[in-house]
């Protein structure tokens, strides 16, 4: 094995260690499963037993939803990133914050956690000849129109929440949650220290928006867990929640795609701007380098010219003839003629 291969192997191992944060895939899947189970079961209990005992109180549902998501995020954030939502996981995969293989397993663990919570909830519901289990589950399911949480009060005035309103509200609520989750996830998939507070507030805000219309799914695994085990008989006042489950999966995945697309476009724009600044700096540096080269060239030419000028020896000027020299010359010519 070459040194390059060794370096690449070390880099891959280091990346994997950063991605896992020291936890195996099984530990992370266990965290996603346990967190999803506890979240769903808590919300099912609040939506049914809480409403029966304390009445339909929107503030009670909103606060309970935000607190349970914040608590589970605080507990499991260091293990798996505390995604607990297929929409969050899909967005994390699209933005490369979670590996695709890990993300698929995360979603399976989340849905299984929701299903176990739904089964446990239905199993624990008390029932009698006058009160059957469907009367409990109808308060915990997610749906629109006759399955809406406020259908009983609205129907007196001939009003209902249709599928269009359910889609729009769930989509916007899911965008809030997914966007908040992406700000709390690092590139390695680990959650920041503020993740618990951020996610608690985001889920509470989304629940306040969607609870009167759809019961505030905001999370397809939450809607799936109770819908599978809800014993509803289709009639004039109830609809099988499985027939409306598609709304919560479609809006969740669409919200994940929207948030991921915005993040990718923003990253590309930032990279392009950074590259443009680097090009401007390179052009300026090149111009300065050319100016320095020209200055050096002029200086070198001047030095060469001075050296050439010094190397040329000019002839010494002849001294002018004096009268004594002229007389000596005439005497010499006379002697020559006499001889």
Helix axes 245-311, 86-94, angle to 10 degrees: 20
Q: What is the mean pLDDT of residues 29-42?
A: 96
Q: What is the pLDDT of residues 89-117, one digit of tens each?
A: 999 999 999 999 999 999 999 999 999 99
Q: What is the pLDDT of residues 298-320, one digit of tens each?
A: 556 555 555 555 555 545 555 55
In angstroms, rounded to a whole number, what is the distance separating the alpha carbons of residues 183 and 191?
9
pLDDT score at 280: 55
Q: What is the pLDDT of residues 4-28, one digit of tens each?
A: 444 444 443 444 434 445 788 999 9
pLDDT score at 59: 86
Contact by Cβ (8 Å): 218, 206: yes
Contact by Cβ (8 Å): 7, 55: no
pLDDT score at 305: 56
Domain boundaries, the chain: 25-125+134-257
Domain 25-125+134-257 top-level CATH class: mainly alpha
pLDDT score at 295: 61
42 pLDDT more than 70:
yes
């Amino acid at each position: 094995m070459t040194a390059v291969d060794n370096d690449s192997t070390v880099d891959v191992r280091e990346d994997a260690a950063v991605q896992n944060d020291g936890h195996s895939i099984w530990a992370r899947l266990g965290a996603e499963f346990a967190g999803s189970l506890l979240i769903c079961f808590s919300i099912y209990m609040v939506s049914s037993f809480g409403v029966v005992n304390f009445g339909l109180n929107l503030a009670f549902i909103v606060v309970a939803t935000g607190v349970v998501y914040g608590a589970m995020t605080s507990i499991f954030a260091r293990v798996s990133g505390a995604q607990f939502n297929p929409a969050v996981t899909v967005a994390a995969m699209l933005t490369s914050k979670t590996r695709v293989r890990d993300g698929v397993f995360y979603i399976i663990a989340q849905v299984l956690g929701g299903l176990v919570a739904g089964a446990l909830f239905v199993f624990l519901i008390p029932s009698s000849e006058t009160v059957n289990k469907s009367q409990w589950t109808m308060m915990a399911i997610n749906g629109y129109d006759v399955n809406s949480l406020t259908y009983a009060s609205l129907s007196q005035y001939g009003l209902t929440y249709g599928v269009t309103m359910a889609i729009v509200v769930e989509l916007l609520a899911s965008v809030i949650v997914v966007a908040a989750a992406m700000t709390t996830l690092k590139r390695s998939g680990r959650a920041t220290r503020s993740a618990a507070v951020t996610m608690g507030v985001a889920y509470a805000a989304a629940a306040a928006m969607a609870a009167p219309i759809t019961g505030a799914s905001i999370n397809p695994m939450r809607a799936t867990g109770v819908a599978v085990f809800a014993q509803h008989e289709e009639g004039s006042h109830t609809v099988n929640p499985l027939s409306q489950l598609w709304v919560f999966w479609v809006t969740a995945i669409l919200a994940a795609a929207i948030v991921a697309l915005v993040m990718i476009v923003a990253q590309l724009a930032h990279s392009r701007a950074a590259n443009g600044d680097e090009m401007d700096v390179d052009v300026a540096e090149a111009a300065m380098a050319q100016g320095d080269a020209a200055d050096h060239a002029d200086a070198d030419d001047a030095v060469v010219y001075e050296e050439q000028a010094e190397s040329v020896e000019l002839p010494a000027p002849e001294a002018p003839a004096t009268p004594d020299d002229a007389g000596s010359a005439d005497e010499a010519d006379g002697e020559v003629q006499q001889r």
